[in-house]
Structure 1
Amino acid sequence: MAITKSAPDGAGPGEEPRHLSSPLLLTLVLLTAVVLQDPVRRALAAPVAQSWMTVFVAVVVQALPFLVLGVLLSAAIAVFVPPSFFARALPRRPALAVPVAGAAGAVLPGCECASVPVAGALVRRGVAPAAALTFLLSAPAINPIVLTATAVTFPDAPEMVLARFVASLLAACGMGWLWHRLGRADRLRPPARPSHGGGSRGAAFWGSVRHDVMHAGGFLVIGATAAATLKAVVPAQWLRAVADDPVLSVPALAFLAVLLSICSEADAFVAASLTQFSPTARLAFLVVGPMIDLKLFALQAGTFGRAFALRFAPATFVTAVAVSVLTGAVLL
């Protein structure tokens, strides 16, 4: 006796089972918003909601152009640059490749969002992870645009520019050497790219761009959402309470840099406005922010894996704060 399988719920015989597609989900969300437009309008008019939307849009608008720049560079590296180039450009020993990669971070005119996909491309092209991670940390903080913005923001304190350059480069190299000594390859898993075998280089380039924009852009939105939520609920008086404490002010501003998730091209303007804090505390703000914040954590988790980000982010935070304190004591 032949036994026939019953059709799945919602599907007739010979029909494919129905799934909730993205267009259908978007339509349902829009219809719900139309039906509930009055409560939604009242909720969005609240000061907390307006503050949340302002921070969210600011983070995304600041970061998205540089994220796209990083994606374009990442795709160009993956498609047009032969693997042998990196073998010739960097020393074979990872311990020596780390400072070279750190210094190379000065040539990328972008922020931290741009450096993450580029570092992922470098790892996929065979660059030592320690060198790629050093580049990831140094590029957002020591490139000419960031240093110029810092000089403009601190016109009467040129030592702040030097301190930012020195502290950022030392912290980046320190993390690179730390990964070289203690890092495990199974915790660094850059996502596989879609295969473009048989196609032209142009098709491969734009396919890689679409893949990385969709992948990294989603994590950028997650990080921006978290930053906006925390910014909207953290009381402003907390800053005033710790500004006068020389011990708490440094980790407080470092932690604030993580929460605010400001683009490295704009963070100097925020640091200059925090006049109630010491120069060393503001230096920690400038060094920590481009290396680890909420959106960066989300981007790093999406690019290299959550297991990597959960270990790399706290180590980066501690290293950046410690180097900032030492550099500030010497130069500020």
Structure 2
Amino acid sequence: MLLLVGAVLLLDVVLFLSGGWLEAPAVQAWRTVCLAVTVQALPFLLLGTALSGAISAFVPERVFSRVLPKRPALAVPVAGAAGVVLPGCECASVPVANSLIGRGVTPAAAFAFLLSAPAVNPVVLTATAIAFPGNPAMVLARLLASLATATVMGWLWLRFGREEWLRPAVRHSGHRPGHSRWTEFRRGFQHDFLHAGGFLVLGAMAAATFNVAVPPSVLETFSGSVWLSVLFLAGLAILLSVCSEADAFVAASLTGFSPLARLAFMVVGPMVDLKLIALQSGTFGRAFAVRFSAATTVVAILCSVLIGEVLL
């Protein structure tokens, strides 16, 4: 927190002293968007790293072996449905998934939880209902498409995933003899938060660059075609990196696009965006993040189209 506050203050001092081009409206807009994305996601990253540290320090491994089915293929949908218990955005799910893997949970189940938690928790579904009043079909479509995507991706990892793609951050998990559990919690929380926070800032900078550089007229070009609008809003969700608690209101404001395209925006965004790709790269490795993000994007679009065609 001190490092983040210090960086913001240093940026303000530089802008104040430099005068010139750093005070241009585009640069100020970039800074505003970058700070907005970071501040919006930071509380949930804090929640996720705290939960990750608590799981690592206080929860015995036998708990997970009792809760999840023995067969990995059955553990995947159970873990996906368990995403409803974490009221946070995608930033919180990455450290939690990493901690679950460290506690012996099969990676396929952990990744299903990683994808579903930001999209099917009660806060997100309530926000979707408020953003689309009188349209419960949109809430149901988002729930089902998100759960389907998380489950399919978990099963795909079981079938095609390779251990060499997955390089979790090296950290002792669980309670070590000679150390108090609170000490383990503090060390795990500090490591995860500082490690993931840096990649969160990088993702926010990339999202801010897109927001400032792309003119609004580009949005109007793709709104005429149903299929182009679905692909465009899916890509836009990745680039904008809006927190899952707020993306429904952004989708509702895109009135020029079809309901199917707006559903794709809300399903893809919490599972694949710039800051999430950066967090996954820092936590699990670049090889994993590239493959997993690309596959998740395709599966999320297909699930959105199939379920949206039925319900919307």
**Shorter-chain TM-score category?**
over 0.9
Cα offset for 1:46? 1.1
Cross-structure match for 2:244: 264
Select between 160-169 and 53-62 the one with higher mean Cα deviation: 53-62
Write the deviation string for residues 274-316 of structure 1: whole angstroms up to 9, x where unpaired.
0000000000000000000000000001111111001101000
SS in 1 for 2:243: coil
With a CA cutoff of 8 Å and minimum separation of 6, indicate the structure with the bigger relative contact order: 2
Equivalent position SS for 2:178: coil
Task: State the AA in 2 paired with 1:57.
Answer: L
d(CA) in 1 for partners of 2:186 and 2:221?
50
The Cα shift of 1:69 comes to 0.2
* Equivalent in the alignment of 1:50: 28
Residue 176 (structure 1) shift? 0.4
Query: Aligned ranges for residues 15-94 of structure 1 at < 5 Å?
Result: 38=17, 40-94=18-72
- Name the residue aligned to 2:304: 324
Report the count of equivalent residues: 304
**Aligned with 1:287 (options 239, 243, 267):** 267
- For residue 82 of structure 2, what is the aligned residue in structure 1? 104
Q: 1:309 to 1:123 in 2, by over 3 A?
A: same
Shift of 1:197: 4.8
Distance 1:75 1:247 in 2: 43
How large is the Cα RMSD of the aligned pairs?
1.9
Deviation at 1:192, TM superposition (A): 1.5
Structure 1 counterpart of 2:116: 138
Aligned-partner Cα distance in 1 for 2:308–2:32 = 33
Q: Which of the numbers 137, 160, 168 marks the counterpart of 1:182?
A: 160
For 1:271 and 1:134, locate their aligned partners in 2 and report how far apart those are by CA, in whole Å. 24
Unpaired stretches in structure 1, ≥5 consecutive residues? 1-22
Q: Work out the CA distance in 2 between the residues paired with 1:37 and 1:132.
A: 46
TM superposition score normalised by structure 1: 0.88
Asked if residue 314 in structure 1 is aligned to residue 294 in structure 2, the reply is yes
How many Å apart are 1:42 and its aligned residue?
2.5
Q: Deviations over 1:237-291 (max 9, x none)?
A: 1101111111200010000000000000000010000000000000000000000
CA deviation after TM superposition for structure 1 residue 37, in Å:
5.8
In the alignment, structure 2 segments of 5+ residues that lack a partner are none
User: 2:148 matched to 1:170?
Assistant: yes
What TM-score results when the alignment is normalised by the length of structure 2?
0.94
Q: Which structure carries more helix by proportion?
A: 2
